[in-house]
Amino acid sequence: MQVLVLHGPNLNLLGTREPEVYGRQTLAQIDAELAQMAADAGAKLQSFQSNHEGALVDRIQAARTDGTDFIVINPAAYTHTSVAIRDALAGVSIPFIEVHLSNIHRREAFRHHSYLSELAVGVICGLGANGYRLALQHALSSRPAASA
């Protein structure tokens, strides 16, 4: 079982970026916890953050042939703008969960729409970094039979 965790733009600033909205955990801390959770379950986990739309598209495309079974993605601002990331996820046909630290529906109207949600297995928002953990838990519980 192999899970890919993708983080979009500005999430590299977690810990210091608007902590009242996004919490105080750094991205490195979140990724380390997720890696430990996956290891404990005997699964592999890779994390990738980029501030660039094309780099995220390239990483999603690479997932088609690198053994990725499930994607957990916080597309950050690209959630609300990126047809390219939506198309990449549709193109690789890998199940994914969309995660947002904040409750995007309690925020500005432009954050209420996601180009990804209708393709997602599920969407978690407003639970802070816990959202990533819950998404990973679900991914690990849906492991393909062939790769224990």
77 binds ligand DQA (CB under 6 A): yes
List the catalytic residue out of 7, 78, 100, 132.
Answer: 100
Grouping H, G, I as helix, E, B as strand and the rest as coil, residue 33 is helix
Q: Which stretch binds ligand DQA (CB under 6 A): 53-61, 81-89, 99-107, 139-147?
A: 99-107
Let me know if 4 is exposed, middle or buried by CB neighbors in 10 A (0-12, 13-18, 19+). buried
Q: Is-contact 38 3, C-beta < 8 A?
A: yes
Active site residue 113: no
104 binds ligand DQA (CB under 6 A): yes
Alpha carbon of 44 to those of 83, 95, 123: distances in Å? 29, 16, 22
Let me know if 70 is exposed, middle or buried by CB neighbors in 10 A (0-12, 13-18, 19+). buried
Active site residue 52: no
Q: Find the binder of ligand DQA among 35, 79, 88, 133 (CB under 6 A).
A: 79
106 is in an annotated binding site: no
52 is in an annotated binding site: no
Residues that bind ligand DQA (CB under 6 A): 10, 74, 76-77, 79, 100-102, 104, 111
Binding residues for substrate: 74, 80, 87, 101-102, 111
